[in-house]
């Protein structure tokens, strides 16, 4: 079921440890809150020193994964998702099986959007949209999930990638069809955008994971908070808003797994798990 081991890159262990220390201060999902809507526990001078090295630090950390996600066990979790997901659904992931998932507080550390299969896009009348035509082959190969990740920037990933996690939340934007179609086309047009290792919402030439959703689906008006003088969007906050009934993201599913197997849990369980994680 599991293929354990560390998928380590070229950086030496000492560099990874040093990188972890620095990235704890740089990641969007940082540690202790100083004020009600602010996160971050490291002094500004340390952040200023580490900031120029953020891309190298992020790449070193993204190379380390000690096991596959437990939902990716062949036990039916992916089939469960496939039966429920729709184009433009938003996914939040807990990536604690990766080093990057331990570089800050928060239960969920990554996000992605499902853009739809060939059949879905044809039904929406989008298959021959200029932003989508260049990606026909990728879509036919099953790469119809868009994400912005440290290792490769904004790219299309396989649907199977959705299950490579221990916990996953599925949320659905509540948009009129024409807005939904426009958002899908916008997101396809962002493929190839470089990753924003500095986590800045005030510039869109590079993107981090939740910023991709914010730019592609601006109608969601995702919740923001401040860290180290910049605004960020935390996946945990997105999940909490959805289960509270605020905004226009609707809760669809929450899957969580351990060594024994996986289960489908409800919004109350999701809220309790996020609260429990924040208390650690």
pLDDT in tens, 133-188: 999 999 999 999 999 988 789 999 999 888 889 999 999 999 999 999 999 999 99
Strand partners, 10: none
Determine the structural domain holding residue 43 and report its residue range: 13-279
- In this structure, is residue 227 part of a structural domain? yes
Q: 198 or 144: whose pLDDT is higher?
A: 144
- In this structure, is residue 8 part of a structural domain? no
What's the total number of domains in the chain?
1
- In this structure, is residue 4 part of a structural domain? no
- In this structure, is residue 3 part of a structural domain? no
Give burial (CB, 10 Å; 0-12/13-18/19+) of 189.
Answer: middle
Query: What's the first-to-final CA gap in the chain, in angstroms?
Result: 29
Given the structure tokens 């190298």, which residue do they identify? Answer: 56
Tell me the C-alpha distance between 156 and 113, whole Å.
Answer: 10
Q: Is the pTM of this model over 0.75?
A: yes
Lowest mean pLDDT among 37-51, 90-104, 205-219: 37-51
Structure confidence by residue, pLDDT tens digits, 6-49? 233 333 434 443 444 444 434 433 333 344 454 555 566 556 66
In the predicted model, what is the mean pLDDT of residues 216-239? 90
- The rounded mean pLDDT for the chain is 80
pLDDT for 21: 40
- In this structure, is residue 5 part of a structural domain? no
Among 4, 10, 6, smallest CA distance to 59 is for 10
Number of residues in the chain: 280
In the predicted model, what is the mean pLDDT of residues 236-256? 95
- Does 266 have pLDDT greater than 70? yes
CATH number of the domain within which 241 lies: 3.90.1720.10
- In this structure, is residue 1 part of a structural domain? no
- In this structure, is residue 98 part of a structural domain? yes
- In this structure, is residue 7 part of a structural domain? no
% residues pLDDT > 70 (the chain): 71
CA distances from 29 to 69, 92, 107, 184, 188 (A): 20, 13, 9, 26, 26
């Amino acid at each position: 079921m599991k293929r354990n081991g560390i998928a380590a890159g070229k950086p030496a262990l000492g560099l990874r440890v040093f990188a972890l220390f620095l990235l704890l201060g740089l990641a969007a999902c940082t540690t202790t809150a100083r004020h009600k809507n602010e996160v971050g526990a490291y002094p500004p001078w340390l952040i200023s020193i580490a900031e120029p090295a953020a891309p190298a630090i992020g790449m070193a950390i993204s190379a380390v994964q000690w096991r596959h996600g437990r939902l990716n066990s062949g036990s039916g979790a992916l089939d469960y998702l496939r039966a429920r997901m729709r184009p433009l659904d938003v996914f939040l992931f807990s990536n604690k099986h990766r080093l990057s998932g331990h570089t800050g507080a928060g239960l969920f550390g990554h996000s992605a959007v499902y853009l739809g299969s060939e059949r879905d896009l044809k039904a929406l009348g989008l298959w021959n949209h200029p932003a989508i035509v260049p990606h026909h082959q990728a879509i036919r190969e099953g790469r119809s999930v868009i994400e912005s990740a440290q290792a490769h920037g904004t790219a299309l990933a396989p649907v199977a990638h959705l299950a490579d996690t221990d916990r996953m939340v599925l949320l659905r934007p509540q948009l009129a069809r024409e807005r939904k179609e426009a958002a899908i086309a916008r997101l396809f047009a962002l493929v190839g955008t470089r990753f924003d290792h500095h986590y800045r919402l005030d510039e869109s030439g590079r993107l981090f994971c939740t910023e991709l959703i914010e730019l592609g689906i601006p109608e969601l008006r995702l919740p923001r908070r401040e860290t180290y003088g910049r605004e960020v969007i935390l996946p945990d906050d997105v999940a909490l808003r959805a289960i509270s009934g605020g905004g226009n993201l609707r809760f669809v599913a929450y899957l969580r797994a351990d060594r024994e197997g996986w289960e489908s849990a409800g919004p109350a369980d999701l809220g309790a798990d996020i609260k429990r994680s924040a208390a650690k």
